[in-house]
């Protein structure tokens, strides 16, 4: 705990993302991780959503609500991220083959990342929102693509689109428009404001 954190227990992060955890820790937020167990594709199908930004918020809410139900009184933050190239949606690649196909389709083009976030306590959603960023991949060669896949290994399946911009994935890009925290999947400014309103952070 620190002097800025006023709650008597840490924030609960309903995500296994190391990037999201690092963002919160760097911002001085004490936290513990409790991964939400939801079927993301089933949630999207049930809602019938085609808008990627709305889908990101819905998934973030469902993650936060799922964990909050098991931890009465705790503040729980959920987050999710969707990627769209025009009207086409992308999800985390299942393996190297699908990652190769995704990256080959994204190269030389601009896609959008939509990061949804939700803060819950018990059965109440205290805050939810989405923020977006535009990313342009450079038109890299097939040989670079294979070398990149070799370099990142299994981590290529751990992020939507098959890249992790905060790591070696930065080499795939030529331009990025959006905040760092949004690109990493956890828009922080709105969350920090919501935590102040909830009395968990010093004002």
Residues with catalytic function: 80
User: Residue 106 — φ and ψ, nearest 5°?
Assistant: -80, -25
Distances (CA, A) of 198 to 53, 113, 133: 25, 28, 27
DSSP string, 42-65: HHHHHHT---HHHHHHHHHHHHHH
Instruction: Give the C-alpha separation, 88 to 56, whole Å.
Output: 15
Residue 172 and residue 183 in contact, taking contact as beta carbons nearer than 8 Å? no
In this structure, what token pair is assigned to residue 65?
A: 């609500």
């Amino acid at each position: 705990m620190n002097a800025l954190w006023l709650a008597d227990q840490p924030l609960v992060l309903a995500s296994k993302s190391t990037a999201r955890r690092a963002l919160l820790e760097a911002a001085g937020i004490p936290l513990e991780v409790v991964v939400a167990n939801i079927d993301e594709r089933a949630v999207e199908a049930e809602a019938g959503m085609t808008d990627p930004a709305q889908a990101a918020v819905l998934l973030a809410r469902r993650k936060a609500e799922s964990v909050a139900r098991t931890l009465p009184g705790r503040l729980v933050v959920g987050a999710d991220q969707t990627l769209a190239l025009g009207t086409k949606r992308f999800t985390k690649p299942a393996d190297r083959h699908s990652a190769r196909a995704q990256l080959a389709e994204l190269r030389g083009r601009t896609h959008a990342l939509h990061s949804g976030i939700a803060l819950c306590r018990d059965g109440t959603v205290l805050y939810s929102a989405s923020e977006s960023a535009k990313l342009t991949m450079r038109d890299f060669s097939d040989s670079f693509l294979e070398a990149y896949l070799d370099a990142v290994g299994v981590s290529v399946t751990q992020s939507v689109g098959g890249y992790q911009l905060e790591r070696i994935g930065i080499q795939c890009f030529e331009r990025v428009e959006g905040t760092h925290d949004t690109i990493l999947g956890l828009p922080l400014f709105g969350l920090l404001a919501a935590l102040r309103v909830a009395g968990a952070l010093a004002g």
